[in-house]
Amino acid sequence: MSVFMEDLDAFTYRERLASGNRLVIVPVGSVEQHGPHLPLTTDVMLARAMSARLAEAVGGLVAAPILYGYKSQQRSGGGNHLGGTTSLDATTMISIARTLTHEFARHGAERLVFVNGHFENYQFLYEGVELATAELSFRGRSSTSQRLEAMLLSYWDFVDQGTIDEIYEGSFPGWDVEHGGVLETSLMLHLHPELVDLSRVMDLPPADLPRYDLLPVRSELTPASGCLSSAARASEGAGQLLMERTTAALAQAVEEAFALERNNVALIATSS
């Protein structure tokens, strides 16, 4: 059966949530340029695929994703000035995270995992979820409300050093410029090869940006590709390796955080 909320009717959704471990996984992405070779919704697709693998490993349902993200920053995503990037402001991002936490608690969820796929989202997700969990905890002191725990993570934090060494062979440019580069392109080659056009990769040196932000943004500081490092070394095999190892590490972290037992379900590659 599908783990995706949007594939289920309301009755099945309620039954699945009530009969399982009451875990809901929320993929969070963005609509952001990723150069000429990747689609605008790369962050959404990768977060959703990671969430599906996680749901299959530990049980739970994958919520419909948060499509839009916080404003792309020049030093981590090329910048919000680039065409195609369509962003939310901080207050909207916080409000969405806060509201969804309340909504899934209302549905009966006891555990939430936000799987972030867009670097700039994290602190605003944190603020919204922290506000909501504090409010729910306060209400729970004087009512029969269920306790809800939430976990926030960015999937790239679970890529271990051994995997980095194996894939990049000493050429890892650093996470600060891994936008539209080897990691995202390899994962997309593994999950959605029909959406990747390697012939359009612009093999440029990693971005050389100052250690500060300038406003208004000086567009000439962003590489012409919109990417902050080259995807020339990307491969489907690297994407498969990244997917398998990263989702295994994610599952272990969620099991430990929520004291869950691993489902007797094989980890299988999920394309969405």
Question: Residue type at 55?
Answer: A
Query: Where in the chain does DSSP place strands (E)?
Result: 23-28, 61-62, 69-70, 87-88, 111-116, 149-154
Considering 37, 102, 118, 192, which one is annotated as catalytic? 118
Choose, from 56, 120, 178, 192, the residue flagged as catalytic. Answer: 120
Please answer whether residues 115 and 51 qualify as being in contact, where contact means their C-beta atoms are separated by less than 8 angstroms.
yes
* 149 counts as catalytic: no
Please name the residues in contact with 128: beta carbons below 8 A apart, sequence gap of 6 or more.
Answer: 93, 94, 95, 96, 97, 98, 99, 101
Cβ-based neighbour number of residue 267 at 10 Å: 16
The yes-or-no answer on residue 190 being catalytic is no
Residue of 37, 43, 102, 178 with catalytic role: 43
- As a whole number of angstroms, the distance between CA 226 and CA 35 comes to 5
Is residue 96 within 8 Å of residue 66, measured between CB atoms? yes
Q: Which amino acid is present at 254?
A: V
Task: Please tell me which residue in 32, 56, 102, 178 is annotated as part of the active site.
Answer: 32
Find, among 203, 269, 267, 196, the residue nearest to 235 by Cα. 196
Residue 161 carries which DSSP code? H
| Catalytic residue list contains 37 | no
Q: Is 81 a catalytic residue?
A: no
Catalytic-role residue among 37, 102, 178, 179: 179
Distance CA 34, CA 42 (A): 7
Question: Tokens standing for 3?
Answer: 């783990």
Choice among 37, 56, 102, 184 that is catalytic: 184
- Judge contact between 104 and 63, C-beta under 8 A: yes
Going by DSSP bridges, is the β-strand pair 87-88/69-70 parallel, antiparallel, or unpaired? Answer: parallel
CA-to-CA dists, residue 36 to 40, 72, 83, 177, 227, angstroms: 10, 17, 12, 17, 9
Active site (catalytic) residues: 32, 34, 43, 118, 120, 179, 184
